[in-house]
Structure 1
Amino acid sequence: MASTPVARPRIREIFLAFLALGLTSFGGPAAHLGYFRNEFVARRGWLSEQDYADLVALCQFLPGPASSQTGFAIGLLRGGGWGAAAAWTAFTLPSAIILVAFALSANLLEGPLSQGILHGLKIAAVAVVAHAVLGMARNLCPDQQRTGIALAAVLLVVFVGGTAGQLSAIVVGGLAGLFLCTSASGDATGHSSLAVSSGTGRLSASLYVLLLAGLPALAWLTPGTLLDMLDGFYRSGALVFGGGHVVLPLLEAEVVQTGQVTADEFLAGYGAAQAIPGPLFTFSAYLGAIMSPTAPVVWAALALLAIFLPGILILLAVLPHWNHFRRWHRAQALMRGANAAVVGILGAALYQPVFTSAIIGPREFALALTGFLLLSVWKLPAWAVVIVMAAGGVMIGA
């Protein structure tokens, strides 16, 4: 990764900012993007609304965990290669550690107090995503054309569903932007400060393809559970679009259908992953720990790296060409449409699964509305709202 020397205080700043999010970002990928936007665009000003939306659109296009790729890119923008590593590590480790601990002791999340806190944290995700959607809509859908593109994206996601719906929404939004957003006012999206050399891009692309083709060959030539695990987890991270919940069927096929993990163990870990902060891809750490009774921590670390690595490699492979693409006038119109579609995708995610999984009655709705007003009117930081929502969840449970 090409990067200039960055002062240690900046790397520490990146690490601590992402660590706070890794400890408090509940609600899945859509909520994570809301937390990122609130922290790094609205509060810290590390990048513009337009740059952030461009990154989200790019990472939605690529295979891998979109929210983790976005966080990695923000760290890269702020602190170069070390900043990217600090961002990914700080955002990923908290949930990975919790899930490994859960694998070793399945009683961590039992009890009415814990359940109440977890319920409140899911409600917090509703407030955070709603606040993010509103803020992005104001900036990225300022006219009728882009508002219509966002609405079309919602309809595609709702009626098509799954990854196909999300990818279709971005493609259709970009194509619509080519025709409807050519005369849109505002600054061009012609430059990004994400500096990745072409050599780094070529190396990353080569490693991506080499591992994708080489790991199955190694697993076939040298039969062994570890190589099989690395191959299966790398392929899951390399070939899944949409990340998060979409990867679960692939992992289930790799570990449950092969008899390495029981269905009950798989579902228990999935439930825990839903209830804790951080990226859902850290579910791989739980599976790695379950699969090895002799070295659970080592296997958890290897599984975690195997599933995240392809998403990072493909992102680094594409970034050297990103600025050239964005400088084209037609590309700017395409990105306006794609950014509007991203707003629609987040809007659809606000309802399903964020709202529907958390708001099960009027009390939950009132608590979520309180959190939204605390963010939008009283301008409280997201972590403070998370604490309030957690306390509210305990009160509702009682």
Structure 2
Amino acid sequence: MKGKENLESQNRVRWIAFLKDVLMCSLGAYGGPEAHYGVFTDQMVIKKDYLSEEELVELIALCSILPGPTSTQTIVAIGYKTGGPLLAFLTMLVWALPVLTVMTLLSFLYQFLQGMNISQDGLRYIGPMAVGFIIVAAFHIGRKVVTDKITMLLLLLGGITTYFIREPWIFPLVLIVGGIVSIMTSKEENLWHRVKLNPPWPYLIAFGVFTIGSIVLSVTWDNRIVHLFESFYRYGYLVFGGGQVVVPVMHSELVEVNQFMTNQEFLTGYGLVQGLPGPMFSFSAYAGGMAARGSTALTQVVGAVAGGIGIFLPGLLLIYFIYPIWENLKKIKGIKVSLKGINAVAGGLITVAAIIVMKKSGFVIDNIVVTLLTAGLLLTKKLPAPLIVLIVLIAGFVI
């Protein structure tokens, strides 16, 4: 009995130490999945040896195959490897909650400025700055995913199609087409060979229940919060990659179709999240809060919570389902091959998003200068992202 108590005590101490390391990762992770992986390598591999570098690379590959927030799923998988499902859930909270809380508060920014009689013009350069971030994301992703003529054509397909058709259904459709085309044109053999799996089905069932249930509720119940949860949950299971990839999908539905917020308000939130550490998908808390405005502060907070939970939940359920069977699943070539086409289409989506939001921001000289300066500083790595955000904020209120 005493030995069992000692073991539990040791586990508790180990878990607390691990969660402190997760918090360190959260507070030091700027700039999207690629930058986050550097932080994970330093903190989780080199300093604390929770896993080897080879194991981390494998987890990154696994989470790249899955839809949802890639870096979040990676660190949750590390938590699962270290202490099972409960530690994985606590990892998710420690990793995402700080920035989700800040983004929820920032959804009240426009009301705060209005209440204090401060001109909202001070935020006018945040939008053009955000376009700079999107351009750089499109450049990096495009350079990585375009490897041959097929992937170039798929990138153009994704870009041209979503430029002319700005409906929510087009985004998952072109992503699926990209995956199918990649599989059909692949010269690799034995793509779908059978492997022995023993999956934890309850997590996949829960994923399906939330997917179907949210759609049914959204169709049968005219409630803003329900609609928001369904939208953000859908973003979570249809988007591959980091927060940059979800921008065109969100912008189309929240700004253009439903007009829950203006283009400037959308880009302000996206720009501000660039200056904060943690997962880029935390932008969902800001977007959900902004979309739920018009009633009470509590309703707005609930909208932010619906956005945050909605977008992270599918990725969490999928990693819980996939991670225990990963060793065998990674042998299926077809999954990796389809991702090649999906990522190429996603590159086209992001490129077009940059064009559309820039057009909506207005092609005036100061906006163009801010966008080009932001892109230039990011590409040359002269200044860190948080400092760029701070300088642009100050410039907006001073100039």
TM-score by length of 1: 0.66
Q: Equivalents in 2 of 1:377, 1:286: separation in Å?
A: 33
Q: How big is each residue's C-alpha offset from its partner over 1:158-216, in whole Å with a ceiling of 9 and x where there is no partner?
A: 122332332232122112211334459xxx9xxxxxxx955444445446656776899
2:344 is aligned with what amino acid? Answer: A
Bigger shift: residues 8-17 or 38-47: 38-47
Equivalent position to 1:7, from 15, 18, 21: 18
Q: Does 1:339 align with 2:343?
A: yes
Q: Equivalents in 1 of 2:397, 2:109: separation in Å?
A: 23
1:363 is aligned with what amino acid? Answer: D
Equivalences for residues 306-385 of structure 1 within 5 A: 306-319=306-319, 320-321=321-322, 323=326, 327-353=331-357, 355-358=358-361, 360-385=363-388
Q: Which runs of 5+ in 2 are unaligned?
A: 1-13, 43-52, 80-87, 192-198, 239-245, 274-282
Secondary structure class of the residue paired with 1:161: coil
> Structure 1 residues 348, 231: closer, same or farther in 2, change over 3 A?
closer
Preserved contact between residue 99 and residue 285 of structure 1 (Cα < 8 Å): yes
Q: Equivalents in 1 of 2:382, 2:40: separation in Å?
A: 13
Task: Tell me what 1:130 maps to.
Answer: 135
How far the C-alpha of 1:108 sits from its partner, in A, is 4.9
> Structure 1 residues 387, 291: closer, same or farther in 2, change over 3 A?
closer
2:107 is aligned with what amino acid? Answer: L
Q: How big is each residue's C-alpha offset from its partner over 1:76-99, in whole Å with a ceiling of 9 and x where there is no partner?
A: 245432232233323322231133
Equivalent position to 1:174, from 172, 176, 179: 179
How far the C-alpha of 1:337 sits from its partner, in A, is 0.9
How far the C-alpha of 1:156 sits from its partner, in A, is 1.4
Q: How big is each residue's C-alpha offset from its partner over 1:196-242, in whole Å with a ceiling of 9 and x where there is no partner?
A: 9554444454466567768999x8xxxxxxx9665454445456776
Q: How big is each residue's C-alpha offset from its partner over 1:279-305, in whole Å with a ceiling of 9 and x where there is no partner?
A: 25534435667534xxx34x4443333
Q: Does 1:244 align with 2:250?
A: yes
Preserved contact between residue 37 and residue 71 of structure 2 (Cα < 8 Å): no
Secondary structure class of the residue paired with 1:380: coil
Q: Equivalents in 2 of 1:148, 1:287: separation in Å?
A: 35
How far the C-alpha of 1:58 sits from its partner, in A, is 4.5
Task: Tell me what 2:280 maps to.
Answer: none
Q: Equivalents in 2 of 1:119, 1:250: separation in Å?
A: 19
Secondary structure class of the residue paired with 1:282: helix
Preserved contact between residue 251 and residue 266 of structure 2 (Cα < 8 Å): no
Across the two proteins, how many residue pairs are aligned to each other? 331
Over aligned residues, Cα RMSD in angstroms? Answer: 4.3
> Structure 1 residues 133, 291: closer, same or farther in 2, change over 3 A?
same
Preserved contact between residue 254 and residue 291 of structure 2 (Cα < 8 Å): no
> Structure 1 residues 316, 209: closer, same or farther in 2, change over 3 A?
farther
Q: How big is each residue's C-alpha offset from its partner over 1:59-113, in whole Å with a ceiling of 9 and x where there is no partner?
A: 3xxxxxx6xx4564354245432232233323322231133465577335832xx
> Structure 1 residues 378, 160: closer, same or farther in 2, change over 3 A?
same
Q: Which runs of 5+ in 1 are unaligned?
A: 22-34, 60-65, 189-195, 220-226, 253-262
Equivalences for residues 8-23 of structure 1 within 5 A: 8-17=19-28
Secondary structure class of the residue paired with 1:163: coil
Equivalent position to 2:286, from 274, 282, 286: 282
Q: Equivalents in 2 of 1:106, 1:14: separation in Å?
A: 35
How far the C-alpha of 1:361 sits from its partner, in A, is 2.0
Q: How big is each residue's C-alpha offset from its partner over 1:37-61, in whole Å with a ceiling of 9 and x where there is no partner?
A: 45325776689999779857753xx
1:162 is aligned with what amino acid? Answer: E
Q: Equivalents in 1 of 2:184, 2:266: separation in Å?
A: 42
Preserved contact between residue 140 and residue 336 of structure 1 (Cα < 8 Å): yes
Task: Tell me what 2:169 maps to.
Answer: 164
Task: Tell me what 1:192 maps to.
Answer: none
2:99 is aligned with what amino acid? Answer: F
> Structure 1 residues 135, 285: closer, same or farther in 2, change over 3 A?
closer
Q: How big is each residue's C-alpha offset from its partner over 1:109-163, in whole Å with a ceiling of 9 and x where there is no partner?
A: 832xx524x2222222122222222222222213232122212211111122332
Q: Equivalents in 2 of 1:249, 1:364: separation in Å?
A: 20
Q: Equivalents in 2 of 1:336, 1:100: separation in Å?
A: 39
Q: Equivalents in 2 of 1:129, 1:251: separation in Å?
A: 21
Q: How big is each residue's C-alpha offset from its partner over 1:10-46, in whole Å with a ceiling of 9 and x where there is no partner?
A: 221233246xx6xxxxxxxxxxxxx414532577668
Q: Equivalents in 2 of 1:250, 1:377: separation in Å?
A: 33
Equivalent position to 2:32, from 36, 53, 71: 36
> Structure 1 residues 339, 81: closer, same or farther in 2, change over 3 A?
same
Preserved contact between residue 288 and residue 300 of structure 1 (Cα < 8 Å): yes
> Structure 1 residues 95, 143: closer, same or farther in 2, change over 3 A?
same
Q: Equivalents in 2 of 1:359, 1:54: separation in Å?
A: 40
How far the C-alpha of 1:349 sits from its partner, in A, is 0.9
Q: Equivalents in 2 of 1:128, 1:121: separation in Å?
A: 11
How far the C-alpha of 1:351 sits from its partner, in A, is 0.8
Q: Equivalents in 2 of 1:143, 1:200: separation in Å?
A: 37
Preserved contact between residue 127 and residue 264 of structure 2 (Cα < 8 Å): no
Secondary structure class of the residue paired with 2:168: helix
Preserved contact between residue 284 and residue 304 of structure 2 (Cα < 8 Å): no
Q: Equivalents in 2 of 1:147, 1:212: separation in Å?
A: 34
Secondary structure class of the residue paired with 2:96: helix
> Structure 1 residues 393, 178: closer, same or farther in 2, change over 3 A?
same
Bigger shift: residues 227-236 or 331-340: 227-236
